[in-house]
Structure 1
Amino acid sequence: MGFTYNLSELTLIEATPEQVIITNRNTYVEWGAPHLTLDEYISRERILSSLPFTSKNFTVWILVPRSTPETTTNILSSCETFIRPALVQSSQKQYCYSIASVFTPPEHRKNGYASYMMEMLGKKLKENFQGVGFSFLYSDIGPKFYSRLGWKVFGHKEIQFNIENTNLNDITSDTANTISLSCKEVVQLTKYDCSLIENEIGINSAKYGVVVLPTFECFEWLFARSNFYAKVKDLREPNIWGVKLTNGEDQIIGFVIWTYNFQEEILQILRIRSLNTNVTKSLIKRAKLYASHYNFKKVTVWNPDLKLFTDPSIIEGGELVERTKSLPSLAWYHHDKGLNENEDDVEWILNENYAWC
């Protein structure tokens, strides 16, 4: 056990490049091992931090003694924030913060450091950064810890499609009006999607709607994670990241964008847009086909619009479950006068897998 500090002796600061290296080494045991070596994990974090999603919008925060803020040996707790574009009701463009990688080294646990760090971070994000409507994170430690610090848990349903016994023969012949998505095509598709979302947000909603915009940069960051793992494990690097369907006249009637989770052998659908249940059925079929290319066992969809999954044949081989990890949690920071700041009046629209980081 290390020396225990009084919380009043501590401060939350932005990490220096040297301190970032230490936090990466610290967090390896939680998010690198056993799938990556330490050097591979450090390399992955360096690559990810250089992408557009992170290069100008990313901060590592550390809790350190106020007397020695430059320390590299007494980093008591750490986390990361990403600035992301968002919309609130009536298509007001704002920013939000996604929070990730909350970590306390084992020797410093049970001292209240993580709670104190998150309390201080919440105050900084709410009071010191103008134009920020909310922050959010994904809890792997259940709903209680972050809820008591201001991050309310939102919907966390998931459809899991087990494809081990799925007949894929009829899928390969069904190619009419189906276009596979390369990374370049995802760029254009996300611009199209975001423009639609700007027109749709808040329609027929009794609550104050917020949405994290599904920009290409967040998909590119997730794709890079998949490709890095494939490369270090000598697997074929993916180059197809989804499919879109047209009506034969180049009008898009639905699409899915996914990523490949090689650690858990899951194809994770990050974003889905569909005109009706028939389109949904075709999209899920395609996802199953690409999952089979890597012998994956499952396809998952987070918080889908269940109206698009009412056809029993779509759910065949699938199960709707409540997730126990990666629980989406949101803190509402709206400062406009006259608006209710109660999270119960906030609706998280498109609470899908693309927002995870």
Structure 2
Amino acid sequence: MGSAGVSLDGDLLAGDSPHLELVLATPEEHLETIRMNSRAWKGLLDLDQYIEREHRLSQQNLTKNGALTCWILVDGRLPPNSRTILSSCETYLKPAYLAYKGNVEEIICHGIGSVFARPEFRGRGYAGRMMEELSKKLDTWQSENQPRKQGVFSVLFSDIGKKFYTRYGWKPYLSSHMTLPPINEDHLKVSVALAKLPVARPMSAEDVRQSMCSEIVEHKQRNLLQVASQKSPGAKVAISPDYDHMLWHWARENYYVEMGVFDDKKPSVRGAAVDSQNVFCTWVRTVGDTKSSHTLHILRFSYDEPASPSIELSTIEAIAAVLRRAQFEAHALNVQKVEFWNPTSLVVKAAKLLDPDAQVFHRDESSICSLKWNGAKQGLGDDVEWFWNEKYSWC
């Protein structure tokens, strides 16, 4: 199945072979895909640790009970557990929203991750064939109990630029970020006082659940999408920023703590809040290639859209306050930077309030946010806007 030195029949030497099929991996084959891609992605973990990390993540609320699917491209003539894996990927079933002409629907979408082509067979078109077949599969995959019976959209985050996945329908969307450096406690206190910022309180995981992922917040999110779909043409979609997404990211971080990659205990501070302005954010530590390149990623910002210039200024100052708290936590956790994806205009203004030289960086190669839209053939038009395209939705 996955042994070194495998050979292929002559009629399988190109990605357009009629004998190639994209199929569901057996548990044994899924494990083999993890072993194969570990060479590229295990980073600071050894093989056994990497396998255990993937197992732990597969048991999270976001991914268990069939929400995680492993796909493999193989010779369809061979039986399971006897076929050479030419390419592989995973898909994640995610709750999502669709807003169109004032109507908001709760739907599902799929996130695509772990796209891997077997190194010894690269250049033959297998990865492209896999994505072509996956595009067809996801049109109806796990949609049998959905009102539409069809998938509306899927997403992926490309680390190989913008061209490859575009060929198969996943078009690149805004992929930008800003960074801020860590600061110590004295810097935090002085800068907050000088700028006359509100004091941001630290949030625990339970605080994040109540303040950012509650039913009340969900209702506000639906209303925002509804209003947006009434104000401008085109469909609006969003991956639900629910608590299960946050738990998945934190479980990943916690595993690295257990393995000693992060050399401290599991953090108790999971975000920051300025309650008087209804401004909140939550974050997670992510692993770099070396211990000196770890990052504190903001998973999600949450705030009310300001209704006046004075409220806008207060909101910007509150966002700046939670960012300052994130910078302090980055210092406490010994990571090198705070990073946040696709900042809104208010977040950009808040960051520049803290550091006038802070810039928005547009990515061209890594973590390119990409979306495949199937709504046109469902009467939803050709245009779609991706709301809340933040780090929490990464997979």
Q: Relative to 1, partners in 2 of residues 1:69 and 1:317: Cα closer, same or farther, differing over 3 Å? A: farther
Q: CA deviation at 1:104?
A: 1.0
Counterpart of 2:92 (choices 82, 92, 95) is 82
Q: Deviations over 1:261-290 (max 9, x none)?
A: 133321100101235211111111011010
**Separation (CA, whole Å) in 2 of partners of 1:303 and 1:176:** 24
- Match runs of 1:190-205 below 5 Å: 190-191=213-214, 192-202=216-226, 203=228, 204-205=231-232
1:168 aligns with 2:198: no
SS in structure 1 opposite 2:63? helix
Structure-2 residue corresponding to 1:229: 256
Ranges in structure 2 where 5+ consecutive residues have no aligned partner: 144-148, 305-314
Q: Which amino acid aligns with 1:244?
A: A
Contact 1:12 1:64 in 2 (8 A): yes
1:351 aligns with 2:389: yes
Q: CA deviation at 1:73?
A: 5.5
**Separation (CA, whole Å) in 2 of partners of 1:297 and 1:222:** 19
**Separation (CA, whole Å) in 2 of partners of 1:137 and 1:96:** 11
- Match runs of 1:63-102 below 5 Å: 63-71=73-81, 74-89=84-99, 90-102=103-115
Q: Relative to 1, partners in 2 of residues 1:230 and 1:171: Cα closer, same or farther, differing over 3 Å? A: farther
Identity %: 33
Q: Relative to 1, partners in 2 of residues 1:231 and 1:318: Cα closer, same or farther, differing over 3 Å? A: farther
In the superposition, the TM-score normalised over structure 1's length comes to: 0.91
Q: CA deviation at 1:310?
A: 2.3
Q: Deviations over 1:44-69 (max 9, x none)?
A: 01111011111121100111111114
Structure-1 residue corresponding to 2:136: 123
Structure-2 residue corresponding to 1:278: 317
Q: Which amino acid aligns with 1:272?
A: F
**Separation (CA, whole Å) in 1 of partners of 2:83 and 2:140:** 30
| Stretch moving more, 207-216 or 168-177 | 168-177
Q: Relative to 1, partners in 2 of residues 1:318 and 1:162: Cα closer, same or farther, differing over 3 Å? A: farther
1:12 aligns with 2:31: no
1:36 aligns with 2:45: yes
Structure-1 residue corresponding to 2:307: none
**Separation (CA, whole Å) in 1 of partners of 2:254 and 2:190:** 29
Contact 1:138 1:328 in 2 (8 A): yes
Q: CA RMSD in A?
A: 2.3
**Separation (CA, whole Å) in 2 of partners of 1:322 and 1:236:** 34
Q: CA deviation at 1:319?
A: 2.3
Q: Deviations over 1:97-152 (max 9, x none)?
A: 00000001211211111100110010011145424210000000000000011000
Counterpart of 2:176 (choices 143, 149, 157) is 157
Q: Which amino acid aligns with 2:22?
A: L
1:181 aligns with 2:220: no
SS in structure 2 opposite 1:285? helix
Structure-1 residue corresponding to 2:146: none
**Moved runs in structure 1, 4+ residues, more than 6 A?**
171-177
- The number of residue pairs the alignment matches comes to 349
1:306 aligns with 2:345: yes
Structure-1 residue corresponding to 2:361: 321
**Separation (CA, whole Å) in 1 of partners of 2:198 and 2:371:** 41
**Larger % of strand: which?**
1
Contact 1:162 1:318 in 2 (8 A): no
Q: Which amino acid aligns with 2:173?
A: F
Q: Which amino acid aligns with 1:179?
A: R
SS in structure 2 opposite 1:132? coil
